[in-house]
Chains A and B, each alone.
Chain A
């Protein structure tokens, strides 16, 4: 029998195959043949040995050397050195992680440690598509309690005691809203859920519906009992297919279990829930427009009063709350309003979910007790600004209806009134962090573009005013602004705020007003000096290297996609304007702001 002097065991598991072990094996066999070593060396394919991320993996015997991360390019060296000359190739060895670092506890990680979960309590823990798992986490216990042990008045009292304020942005006391609707005369009443989350940069409602849809179903059913309603709708945008799918599944499962439909939990109470998919108009997040949309009409707001609690959907008394508000309800009922009110501050109780995004290290969903400072959310939880050479500039709260908060107001606590004082709004909880490469005029232009586009057109101040403001902002960003434009912006803002029909118009100028409040010098730089300090507005850039600031590192030279930059070691870079396509890649790459 032929004896081999050496065995080479190649892992043939799926992971290593995907990483190229098949090609490696073929190359190895070919190379061995070429070197006339096929008879001496056995190449064996083995099952997965578990080091999949380092594949393809090879073990050689008798030495027992463990090679990782091989490619067919390594084959000649491996055969030449190891097989023929007996000198193992050290650079391909598996390196034991030097000192095994301790894995931190969840609560040692600042991102998780500073959070307190109520609305998100089931996130990542349960299978969102299984009603049984929700029940196992004490789901539907609050509903059972509300249906059997509480009168409608007691339910409303408990919610009032909790001091929960609407989490969709307005911050209206939820208990009060329910009380108005409870007292409103009418046979038929409706319970609605606003899942038309449309602010750029906000995704908390979607995430709740995806991770824990039953909490919303349960919260709405409890409210139905409180106001005496038998039908409810969840208005969710069709752009959230996974949320719609999981919510529908949750509704179907609840119906099958008799937790929705007729005679819920054998208590004689009836409530049915439907999903209404919206086409994604931002204005349909406004309550009266949302109701019109469910009625099958074009989504446009109407003047209030009458308020929905008296005359809402199909002119019947209606309560509308946002997804996050609903997700809080079951726990307020089971743990008590006093428990909820014990969290947070005097002005704002409980917790708030924020969608943290933008120039920030840990993008994600954050639920913190009210009163946590914005600084703590951005730095302790969010991990701060990712680019080391960039500094924090501002954070936009409340999306296009909100405002920006600069560095000096970062210690503002998350409370409805304190945030308004700082010039923004709590909103639904979108938190877009911006570093100093962001042009605030351009940011205001972006949001105005959004508002102008989403304006439904019903009232003139919003329809025409936002368009006019956008034109001015575009003009400023194009370098054609005049000093009087800033005044015109302020005037228009005041009129639009005052005269618009609904929240969209009334809050639409906010991004402009708050940037004017904190960053007026940036507007002035645009219109007077014709400069964009953040180097964002292309029309205001010269694309000339500032030789004093240039460190001669050549990063821009390597980054330029059209070879419009010439550079030699120890010499400043030079941009050839005839070739430059003004893509700003060099400006983004330059850490020293040396290109103007």
Chain B
């Protein structure tokens, strides 16, 4: 990678927006698994693996799975945030494998929000 100049910062910003934004990148769903120490300690890796496995079983290429740090509410980990194109992101808390799998199958694929385990919608 070549060294950046100041004008490159804006270019990266635009490119990343295209890559990660649901609107322009062609992705329909973005799943963020929160992987701080607290998340990992309470099983976030299993959640991530479950989501990746479930994704692997589908043919979908328009679902992005990514990781991020602690969302702040350590006692409710593991958590994930699921955003479908044009809808508000939903944060799910206190997950386990089965819940994560169901959230993937029902919410990511079918669009049914799994109200029982949803913590909140929107962003901070």
B69 at the interface (CB under 8 A from A): yes
Q: Interface residue count for A (Cβ, 8 Å)?
A: 69
- Cβ contact of A127, chosen from B67, B75, B97, cutoff 8 A: B67
- Is there an interface contact between A127 and B70, defined as CB atoms closer than 8 Å? no
- Is there an interface contact between A104 and B6, defined as CB atoms closer than 8 Å? no
Q: Hey, which chain B residues are within 8 Å of A109, CB to CB?
A: 119-120
Question: Could you mark each residue 110-136 of chain A with 1 if its beta carbon is under 8 Å from any beta carbon of chain B, else 0?
Answer: 011001010010111111110011011
A34 at the interface (CB under 8 A from B): no
Complex CA–CA separation, A28 to B86 (angstroms): 44
- Is there an interface contact between A14 and B37, defined as CB atoms closer than 8 Å? no
- Is there an interface contact between A15 and B97, defined as CB atoms closer than 8 Å? yes
- Is there an interface contact between B74 and A363, defined as CB atoms closer than 8 Å? yes
- Is there an interface contact between B16 and A135, defined as CB atoms closer than 8 Å? yes
A547 at the interface (CB under 8 A from B): no
B47 at the interface (CB under 8 A from A): no
- Cβ contact of B6, chosen from A111, A123, A124, A144, cutoff 8 A: A144
B23 at the interface (CB under 8 A from A): no
Q: Is the interface of A mostly helix, strand, loop or mixed?
A: loop
A371 at the interface (CB under 8 A from B): no
- Is there an interface contact between A100 and B3, defined as CB atoms closer than 8 Å? no
Q: Hey, which chain A residues are within 8 Å of B75, CB to CB?
A: 361-364
A314 at the interface (CB under 8 A from B): no
B91 at the interface (CB under 8 A from A): yes
- Is there an interface contact between B32 and A48, defined as CB atoms closer than 8 Å? no
Complex CA–CA separation, A152 to B72 (angstroms): 35
Q: Which of A169-177, A253-261, A444-452 contacts B (4 or more CB under 8 A)?
A: A253-261
Q: Hey, which chain A residues are within 8 Å of B76, CB to CB?
A: 362, 364
- Is there an interface contact between A365 and B4, defined as CB atoms closer than 8 Å? no
- Cβ contact of A15, chosen from B66, B72, B98, cutoff 8 A: B98
Q: How far is the CB of B93 from chain A (nearest CB, A)?
A: 11
Q: Interface residue count for B (Cβ, 8 Å)?
A: 60
Q: How far is the CB of A117 from chain B (nearest CB, A)?
A: 6
Complex CA–CA separation, A133 to B64 (angstroms): 14
A50-B110 in contact given A15-B98, A124-B72, A258-B4 (Cβ < 8 Å): yes
Tell me the nearest residue of chain A to B106, going by C-beta. Answer: A50
Q: Please provide the chain B residues from 94 to 116 with a CB less than 8 Å away from any CB of chain A in the complex.
A: 96-102, 105-106, 109-110, 113, 115-116
- Is there an interface contact between A211 and B17, defined as CB atoms closer than 8 Å? no
Q: How far is the CB of B98 from chain A (nearest CB, A)?
A: 4
Complex CA–CA separation, A47 to B105 (angstroms): 11
- Cβ contact of A266, chosen from B5, B53, B96, B117, cutoff 8 A: B5
- Cβ contact of B102, chosen from A52, A243, A267, cutoff 8 A: A52
Tell me the nearest residue of chain A to B117, going by C-beta. Answer: A53
Q: A210-B69, A258-B2, A258-B4 are in contact. List 14 more A-B contacts (CB 8 A).
A: A14-B54, A14-B101, A48-B54, A115-B124, A124-B34, A124-B70, A125-B68, A132-B12, A136-B16, A138-B13, A207-B70, A210-B70, A265-B6, A362-B75
Q: Which 7 pairs of residues, A with B, have the shortest CB-CB distance?
A: A211-B69, A258-B3, A50-B105, A124-B71, A136-B16, A52-B101, A363-B75
16 A-B contacts (beta carbon < 8 Å): A50-B106, A53-B102, A53-B117, A54-B98, A97-B116, A103-B90, A103-B121, A115-B72, A123-B69, A124-B72, A126-B68, A136-B20, A141-B9, A203-B37, A212-B69, A240-B37
